[in-house]
Amino acid sequence: MSDSAIVLNQGVGGESIKTDKITGIHTPVEKVAFGSTGTVTPVDAANPLPVTLKAGTDAIGKLAANDGVDIGNVDVASQPARSRTVDAISAALATDKLMNGTTELTLKRAVINESTTGDKQIVAAVTSKKIRVINYSLHCNAANTVQWKSGSTALGGARAFAANGGIAPGEAILGHFETAAGAALNLNLSTAVQVSGELTYVEV
């Protein structure tokens, strides 16, 4: 073979792609061809890179398996589903809200200040909502028997307290008790003596 260049094929715009003689070895000198869509024809046809020079349509390498994900516009608005028994999820105690599934519940408070017998309304009824008591305390100035009610329905047994007796069971996130939907929370007193206290609740 002579030292002169040998034409292998025609390139873009009629250019010749030739071989050069380098230290006795004829090495092909290849040029990359660009199509009308901007597609790159790789040098090594046996091991091509899956790259197309078009915006917003193709992924690179392994990202191609992630449907809808590309380098230029990574979607961070959605999150994968998580499982409480599989994924490590840490949380901080909030003092302004409680959660009921994905619904925020606002903590509300009421005062207990009653001194006559019968059913006393502590929290007014809320349409279609249950009143769930998270925490409460009460104190009886003299002997008395008290009972929490959902409207007129007892929420538990009547409790008898001696003079200056009372109860403060502490916080219960799941609730100590709750009314029926749309019912008021009442406290029944057996004796006309002062009963005082506070409670924290949510509407669910």
pLDDT (tens digit, 9 = 90+) per residue, 15-71?
A: 444 455 555 555 555 555 555 555 555 555 565 555 554 555 555 555 555 555 555
Tally of CB atoms within 10 A around 195: 23
First to last CA, the chain: 91
pTM (predicted TM-score): 0.59
Separation CA 2–CA 22 (nearest Å): 12
| Topology (CATH) of 103-203 | Jelly Rolls (2.60.120)
pLDDT-above-70 percentage for the chain: 62
**Taking the domains of the chain in order of start, what are their residue ranges?**
6-65, 103-203
- Exposed, middle or buried, 22 (CB in 10 Å: 0-12/13-18/19+)? exposed
In the numeric block, the tokens 């869509």 are attached to 37
Query: Is the CB of residue 41 less than 8 Å from the CB of residue 49?
Result: no
Of 166, 95, 98, 165, nearest to 136 (Cα)?
Answer: 166
Q: When comparing pLDDT for 30 and 175, which is higher?
A: 175
